[in-house]
Structures are given as C-alpha cells and as structure tokens.
C-alpha cells in the first residue's frame, strides 16, 4: 500500500520458470532489504518479473524455513481435518503446517488427498448399503422416521461440499464435535480455535441442546441452536434444502436463520 506505481511503462515481464540467477537476485535482495512493496522489488532487484511473480516465488520457494519433500502422515491428517472444517481455505490450513505453503497443500490435495477421500467415501457408501440391507428386516416402527430420513438423504441431490467429502457430514455442527466443544476452552493440538471463523469464537456460540440425529446412514451428534451465524451458514443452507425436500419439518413462515433446534426424532423445531 502506498507504493509508487513503479511498474507502469514496463509492459514486458518475463514469465515461466525461474532461473537460479533470478532466484539468487531475489533472495539476496529480500534478505538484505526485506520485500517492502512487492511491485518495486523486481526493479530494485534487477529482475524482469512483475511484483506478483516475485512475491509468489519468495513465498512458495525461496522463503527460509520451507519444508520440502513428502508430507508426513500427521501432516496429511491435519490437512484432512482442517479441510473438512474449513474447506478450500488453503492459506488458513497452511498456517497450521509450519514450513508448508498454501500452494503446496493445494497441490497435494488435488493430486493425492482428494482421490484418497473419494475412495474412502465410496467404501463408506458400500458399507452403509450393506448395513441397510442387512438390518432392514429387523427395523421396528420407532426407527421408521430415522430410516426415512436416512433414505431421504441418500437420495437427495446434495450439491455442496458435503457430498464431495467422504468424512461424515455433521448437520449444524460439522466442525464442532462434542469433544471439541468440551475442550473448547483449552488449546487443542491443531489450534482449532484459530480455525474457526475469525469473527466468531466458541464463546459467541451459545449451544443449548445436543442430540443425535439420523443422517446419511449413521447417527451423528448434533448441536442445535448454534447462534453464531458464521458458524452455521453453510449448515443453514443445507437445512433449508432439507426443509424444502421434506426431510425436516419446521413451522411455516419462520426464518430458519433466526433460531432452530432439532429433537431426537430428527424433526426440526423453531
């Protein structure tokens, strides 16, 4: 900010892979002077690149402390957990993985983890189908609503991220399991509190009720009446879709976003 438009009148910038000489120029300049205003870096460092390209090269490759090479099992699990909670917020995810860049994590996700998750999801689906067919004969009437909801969600065409992930979808509380809530006032290993929306904290989220609801073939602990809007906007959209499709019932004319809760029988109450 506040930088002079130094790049005006310099339309030709080199593109493509960086040469070792270019790397040296950039590294030496930044280590000596700091990057300051990125748009002025290439000129001062004697590079035929634009500031944006220099910034990216520094962040993703030249910056000290970068970890290269294969991701560890623990890093992989961290990525999976945080991606499930945050979605494609690569920069936020990278903050929890020292030495890894958002670009690296993003590439790793697209080239490896995404497929792994898809495969796991497929296996999970087959297991659910297997379980459903073997237990249907013994199901009593008290379970019929749950079965209905379960079948309904399986047939429902979810278009959001929930159906792209193999990890279990937790209605209303995708990223707030009971355990996380219980440990919310302590620091967790991933710094999950930081992973929550920056504008909302657990303290801001009032949690009045917990229940189990049938969903996607399994029972998930579910928080109701989460009042921090940032925390459940995606779930709210999800809930609206379920209401529209008749899987959840609510009092007509009431704005779902104002408040909601869910009882053990899977019916939403406003």
Distance in Å, CB of 65 to DNA, minimum: 15
Measured from the CB of residue 210, what is the shortest distance to DNA in angstroms? 30
> How many C-alpha atoms does 52 have within 13 Å on its Cβ side?
4
Q: What's the Cα-to-Cα distance from 5 to each of 14, 118, 249, 256, rounded to whole Å?
A: 18, 46, 58, 48
Q: Give the nearer residue to DNA in terms of CB position, either 36 or 46.
A: 36
Smallest gap, in angstroms, from Cβ of residue 29 to DNA? 14
Q: Is the CB of 61 or the CB of 158 nearer to DNA?
A: 61
CA 212/CA 114 separation, integer angstroms: 29
- Cβ closer to DNA: 50 or 146? 50
Supply the minimum distance, in Å, between the C-beta of residue 142 and DNA. 42
CA distance 37 to 245: 52
**Separation of alpha carbons 45 and 54, rounded Å:** 10
- Least gap, CB of 238 to DNA (angstroms): 18
- For Cα atoms 159, 162, 163, give the angle at the middle one, nearest 5 degrees: 60
Nearest Cα neighbor of 38 from 13, 66, 69, 17 is 13
Least Cβ distance, residue 49 to DNA (angstroms): 7
DSSP 164: T
Residue with smaller CB distance to DNA, 51 or 266? 51
List, in order, residues 6 or more apart from 261 with CB less than 8 Å away. 208, 209, 224, 225, 268, 269, 270
Q: Which is nearer to DNA, 90 or 232 (CB)?
A: 90
In angstroms, how far is CA 149 from the centroid of its own chain? 26
Q: Which residues of the shown chain bind DNA in the complex (CB under 7 A)?
A: 1-7, 14-18, 36-39, 49, 51-53, 55-57, 60-61, 88-92, 102-104, 106-108, 110-112
Q: Which is nearer to DNA, 71 or 172 (CB)?
A: 71
E strand or H helix at 211? strand 209-215
Using alpha carbons, select from 133, 132, 146 the residue that is nearest to residue 220.
Answer: 146
Minimum CB distance to DNA, residue 79 (Å): 13
Say if CB 219 and CB 235 are below 8 A apart. no
Q: Based on CB atoms, which residue is closest to DNA, 112 or 219?
A: 112
């Amino acid at each position: 900010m506040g930088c002079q438009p130094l790049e005006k009148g310099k339309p030709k910038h080199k593109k493509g892979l960086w040469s070792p000489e270019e790397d040296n120029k950039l590294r030496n300049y930044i280590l000596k002077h700091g990057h300051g205003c990125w748009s002025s870096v290439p000129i001062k460092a004697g590079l035929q690149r634009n500031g944006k390209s220099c910034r990216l090269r520094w962040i993703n490759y030249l910056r000290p402390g970068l970890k290269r090479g294969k991701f560890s099992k623990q890093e992989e699990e961290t990525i999976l957990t945080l991606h499930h909670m945050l979605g494609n917020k690569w920069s936020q995810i990278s903050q929890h993985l020292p030495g890894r860049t958002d670009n690296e994590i993003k590439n790793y996700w697209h080239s490896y983890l995404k497929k792994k998750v898809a495969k796991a999801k497929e296996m999970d689906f087959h297991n659910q189908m297997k379980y459903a067919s073997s237990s249907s004969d013994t199901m009593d009437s008290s379970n019929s609503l749950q079965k209905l909801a379960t079948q309904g969600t399986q047939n429902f065409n979810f278009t959001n991220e929930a159906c792209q992930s193999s990890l279990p979808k937790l209605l209303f509380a995708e990223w707030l399991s009971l355990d996380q809530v219980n440990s919310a006032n302590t620091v967790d290993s991933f710094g999950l509190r930081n992973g929550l929306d920056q504008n909302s904290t657990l303290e801001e989220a009032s949690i009045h009720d917990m229940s189990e609801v049938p969903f996607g073939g399994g029972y998930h602990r579910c928080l109701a009446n989460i009042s921090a809007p940032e925390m459940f906007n995606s779930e709210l959209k999800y809930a609206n879709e379920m209401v529209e499709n008749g899987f959840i019932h609510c009092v007509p004319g009431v704005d779902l976003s104002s408040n909601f809760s869910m009882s053990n029988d899977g019916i939403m109450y406003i």
